[in-house]
Chains A and B, each alone.
Chain A
Amino acid sequence: MKILGSEITPYRTYLNRRKFIKGSLASAMLATVTSSAFANHDSDLSIYTKNLNENDKLNSYEEITTYNNFYEFGTHKKHPHLNSGNFKPRPWTIKIDGLVKKPQTFDLEKILSNVTIEDRVYRLRCVEAWSMVIPWQGFQLSELIKMAEPLSSAKYVQFVTVFRPEEMPGQQKRTIIWPYREGLRMDEAMNPLTILATGLYGHEMPNQNGAPIRLVVPWKYGFKSIKSIVEIRFLDTQPETSWETLAPWEYGFYANVNPNVNHPRWSQGTERRIGEFKRRETLMFNGYEKEVAHLYRDLDLTKFY
């Protein structure tokens, strides 16, 4: 796990400092740079590169925000970037229900004032065999779970994406059953690697990446990391998840990155890192084996893929 202690900052301070950095840089750059709209987001890379594994390189802000799977905005990779302009991520609330002491709805602002925003640089491995390295800002999901006060009978957590067909044109078509749903086992949800991300590259979460708040579970295929979350349910049975419902023979509930278990239509042994020419070997649990392998000691990963 890569976190920088010095980067653990309350959310407000974090954004304010970012704004200051961006502001001063922007004025400095106006004179010189006119072409690259993204330049100000990768101008201060040092804080992230310190968090990198030696074999990894950060993907650019442009790569991360123009190549997305977010079917709510369309099924092509460029659609989320092109079609998400009308989406309004504020104000935002998250409904907490199911097996909790008291079902309630939190304002996102309220959640954010109670957590610590940190930098997390994670590899993201898509089930389609491509990957990126992304500098997220967010907080551990476990912090929100503590606020939600689940009952001891809660064994699973389910997440639901917002349903707003008028702002999300992809939802006007029934490509998958809306709203998008995902789930985790309680111990996976409580794992320190699992975060709710609210930003990337020090920028508030772009719409196409799951504004204003999304899950990031770096050892699982990208589709587990559900975007634009409006509801979190605590359950005692394994919840239905969108891709598993659509094609259970192809996508399982666990969806752990595993080079030894192939997707029926393509190999998971290698991946293309966006920005690189040659494919690389896919790592077990996306390289987070040390942190998460213990969660699956008693599980047959070829059956529970």
Chain B
Amino acid sequence: MFSTRNFNRSKPVLFILILFPSLVWAYQFVTGNLGVNPIEKLMDELGLMALRLIIITLMITTLSNIKPLKSIVVLRRMIGLFAFYYVCLHFSTYIVLDHFLDMKFIIQDIIKRPFITFGFISFLFLIPLASTSTNNMIKRLGFKLWKKIHYLIYPVAILASMHFYVLVRADKTEPVIYMGIIILLLLHRIFKRLTRPQLAQ
């Protein structure tokens, strides 16, 4: 049985572990060690990390259904915020480094290209999640409304994996694996809801 305290104690370590890759990539980018096409590489790594973290937050909820892991849910907020952190870095790499703030081009790109549209909407939906992540916000909004807002994580995850799927030219294995995991996690939630004993009618 892992207690809330166990999980809380692991937070500083997790924090450094999840932050670390971004520091390494930033360092490699600045020192010119990110390969032959560093901007593309940076964007890919940041985006992939963000997608993985989003999936992990979904997994945490599922894992917390297992009795001994019930308290793992205390890690979810931090990982969710890190997902947002990586999405922001990913998006700003696209805007600043890839397109040099050419806003006319970027707006066209977002409207015209489905994979950029998916990614952009996914990013937009993450903003209310990140900005209502504090305890104070939960209190102010009330748990019910807060929870409703946070259902946005489902479209976020689906759009983010589609963003990746459409981007890949031929070998879709990796995006399909991510999509599969997301679908399984969602199915589990639906199943749970359907089989839940009806409480007060």
Q: Is B9 an interface residue (CB 8 A)?
A: no
A-B contact count (CB 8 A): 52
Contacts known (A173-B171, A279-B99); A267 close to B36, Cβ less than 8 A: no
Please determine whether A265 and B166 come into contact, CB atoms closer than 8 angstroms: yes
Out of B36, B39, B115, B170, which one reaches A67, CB within 8 Å? B36
Known: A77-B36, A77-B37, A272-B37. A266 touches B113 (CB 8 A): yes
Q: Tally A residues with Cβ within 8 Å of B.
A: 27
Verify if A274 is at the interface (C-beta below 8 Å from B): yes
Q: Is the interface of B mostly helix, strand, loop or mixed?
A: helix
Q: Determine whether the beta carbon of A175 is less than 8 Å from that of B37.
A: no
Given contacts A175-B170, A265-B166, contact A272 B109 (CB under 8 A): no
Q: Are A176's CB and B170's CB within 8 A? A: yes
Q: Of B100, B115, B170, which contacts A265 at CB under 8 A?
A: B115
Given known A78-B35, A278-B100, A279-B99, contact A272–B170 (CB-CB < 8 A): no
A63 touches B170 (CB 8 A): no
Q: Are B113 and A274 in contact (CB under 8 A)?
A: no
Contact B37 A71 (CB under 8 A): no
Mark each residue of chain A from 241 to 272: 1 if its CB lies under 8 Å from any CB of chain B, else 0: 00000100000000000000010111101101
Known contacts A71-B170, A175-B170, A279-B99: A265-B35 contact under CB 8 Å: no
The answer to whether B105 has its CB under 8 Å from any CB of chain A is: yes
Q: Which residues of A contact B39 (CB under 8 A)?
A: 272, 277
By the criterion CB–CB under 8 Å, are B171 and A67 in contact? no
User: How many residues of B are in contact with the other chain, CB < 8 A?
Assistant: 21
Q: A265-B115, A267-B109, A279-B100 are in contact. Are A274 and B170 (CB under 8 A)?
A: no
Which A27-77 residues have a C-beta within 8 angstroms of B? 62-63, 66-67, 71, 75, 77
Which of A67-108 touch B at CB < 8 Å?
Answer: 67, 71, 75, 77-78
Which residues of A154-207 are within 8 A (CB) of B? Answer: 173, 175-176
Contact call A265/B114, Cβ cutoff below 8 A: yes
A75 and B168 CA atoms in complex are apart in Å by 10
Asked if B40 is an interface residue, CB under 8 A from chain A, the answer is: yes
B123 → chain A closest CB, angstroms: 18
Closest chain A CB from B92 CB (angstroms): 16
Tell me the A residues contacting B by CB distance below 8 Å: 62-63, 66-67, 71, 75, 77-78, 128, 130, 173, 175-176, 246, 262, 264-267, 269-270, 272, 274-275, 277-279
* Residue ranges of B at the interface with A (Cβ–Cβ < 8 Å): 35-37, 39-40, 97-100, 105, 108-109, 112-115, 166-167, 169-171
Given contacts A267-B108, A274-B36, A278-B100, 4 further A-B contacts (CB under 8 A): A75-B169, A130-B37, A175-B171, A266-B109
